[in-house]
Structure 1
Amino acid sequence: MEINRKSFQGVGNIIRFNWHFYVLAVGTVMLLLLLAQQIGTVFQPFVYILCFLIVSCIAVSLLASFYVYDLSDLYNLNWMDKKDSDQVIINIHSGFDETSTLLIQAFPEASLSVFDFYDPIKHTEVSIKRAREAYPPFPGTQSISTDYIPLTDASVDTIVVALSAHEIRDAAERIRFFKELFRILKPGGNIYITEHLRDVPNFLAYNIGFFHFHSKNTWLQTFKQSGLQVIQEIKTTPFISTFILTRYGNSI
């Protein structure tokens, strides 16, 4: 499938939406270098090492992000089953939607609905606010809460939640959200949850930033308590997992 993404779009968006972090990092390094000129030569190597570590962490995270969002097959949607073209699909995101246009391209005969559970009171990250300002919503996008999706029971063939469910930080709220996914999913239907995990590869790539993600065990517990089971886990890259879920026991 041909995708319409610009070169460096992924890593560029990360810098664009989180520029305050990079400004702070650069400012810190500059201050440390100035400090190194004022202190004794005994301590200068330690300051230089600290500067090196800061720059290295930023460089590694950006390189990993470039690999994930610009070089990998993540946006080819190869992790989805495309055998049924006329299915009912919903795409759910938390304020930044890079998937709906791709779903229309991949499933031109499908009925696609898009829902946005972004809540400015709960989801206070400035990066999401900047992303919403930079990219207009997909036409027809409906705002929802994580507690209720305005669809009838067992009415959806495929549900996609890409790189957004981790924004639901409260465990109880997250389970309620996944119970809603269970409710609207048809027996035999699939849910695709794509996420970074709080694991070793993401720690090596993003350092303490990996705490923003949930562990695999947390996701598995959430799925289980919501009546869902994992039928497959696909590693698009060492940093990204897609869990393919269905109703537990495949029945209502």
Structure 2
Amino acid sequence: MNGQAPGGHRRRPSGARHVIAYNWPLYLAGGAVTVGAALVARRSRGIVRAVAWTAGAAASWWTAASLVASHVVYDRSPLHGWEWLSPALVRAGRPPRPGRHLVISSGLDEASAVIGALHPGCEQTVADLYDALPVVESSLRRARRRVAPRPESVACSADALPAPDASVDTVIAPFALHELRAADDREAAFGEVARILRPGGALVLVEHCRDAANIAAYGPGAEHFMPRARWLRTARGAGLRLAHERRMGGLVTVFVLVGPER
């Protein structure tokens, strides 16, 4: 389906309203905590009242802040357009086109069709990890129902990406590899990326990192993200070095990691 609506028109990429649809139980819980805490605070005194107001304020902040953050990142930033890919590759010392490239998806692929349209003539493979994920979040299942995988996607696991050794110029992983919760699985995925990249090839990793800005915006939900240092440590373990880094919408980090020129 490639994320298309009836009539052949491509659906708009996921924005803040889709984030609500994918995560509605969390937003419902946040609203319930806010209202419940306010009711308890009005009927209580002392430490109980203080705790209730604090819990309600935190729930209210993170519910509203996460919606604003999602709107800024997914509706207002250039993230979904992918015009930023070529400048990022150039700043990393790579050609402006991704060449033969592999896009890694963990269930919600809204990048491959856009990248393919921007770079016609560049051979593309889409590796879909969804069916092999040890744990699939309910929000990801809801997203998968909205945006079905492209028919040409190749179902695979993190330790067996669908490409021969040293055959790919660029690997692009937008919001996919954090779904691999176990360190061993992430290390296996990075090892596979290193295996399939041609000498000097690049991994473009797009992720929220667990940092102060994302914690302020998403609260406990930021536990879902990996710290920047952990991504870079895993990359170094696979022989990939950081060649370029930029921030998107203030909350998303783009890493361009380059393999050795062997």
TM over 0.5: yes
Contact 1:85 1:109 in 2 (8 A): no
Partner of 2:5: none
More moved, 11-20 vs 52-61: 52-61
Contact 1:79 1:234 in 2 (8 A): no
Contact 2:30 2:59 in 1 (8 A): yes
Partner of 1:25: 30
Partner of 1:35: 40
Map of 1:68-217 to 2, 5 A cutoff?
A: 68-81=73-86, 87-119=99-131, 122-217=134-229
- Provide the rounded CA distance (Å) in 1 between the counterparts of 2:182 and 2:52: 39
Change (3 A) 1:52 1:86: closer
Query: SS at the partner of 1:61?
Result: helix
Residue 55 of structure 1 and its aligned partner are, at CA, apart by 1.2
User: Which aligned segments of 4 or more residues in structure 1 are displaced greater than 6 angstroms?
Assistant: none
Residue 150 of structure 1 and its aligned partner are, at CA, apart by 2.5
Contact 2:133 2:180 in 1 (8 A): no
Partner of 1:232: 244
- Please give the per-residue CA displacement for 1:63-110, whole angstroms capped at 9, x wherever unaligned: 011101110111222432275558211100111111011111211211
- Provide the rounded CA distance (Å) in 1 between the counterparts of 2:250 and 2:212: 10
- Provide the rounded CA distance (Å) in 2 between the counterparts of 1:30 and 1:163: 33
CA RMSD, Structure 1 to Structure 2 (Å): 2.2
Partner of 2:15: 10
Query: SS at the partner of 1:232?
Result: strand
- Provide the rounded CA distance (Å) in 2 between the counterparts of 1:86 and 1:72: 22
- Provide the rounded CA distance (Å) in 2 between the counterparts of 1:36 and 1:201: 29
**Aligned-partner residue type, residue 209 of structure 2:** L
* Identical aligned residues as a percent: 31
**Aligned-partner residue type, residue 127 of structure 1:** S
Flag structure 1 segments of 5+ consecutive residues without an equivalent. Answer: none
What is the aligned residue count?
245
Query: SS at the partner of 1:146?
Result: coil
- Provide the rounded CA distance (Å) in 2 between the counterparts of 1:132 and 1:40: 44
Question: TM-score, structure 1 length as denominator?
Answer: 0.88
Query: SS at the partner of 2:130?
Result: coil
Contact 1:85 1:108 in 2 (8 A): no
Flag structure 2 segments of 5+ consecutive residues without an equivalent. Answer: 1-9, 88-94
Contact 2:132 2:156 in 1 (8 A): no
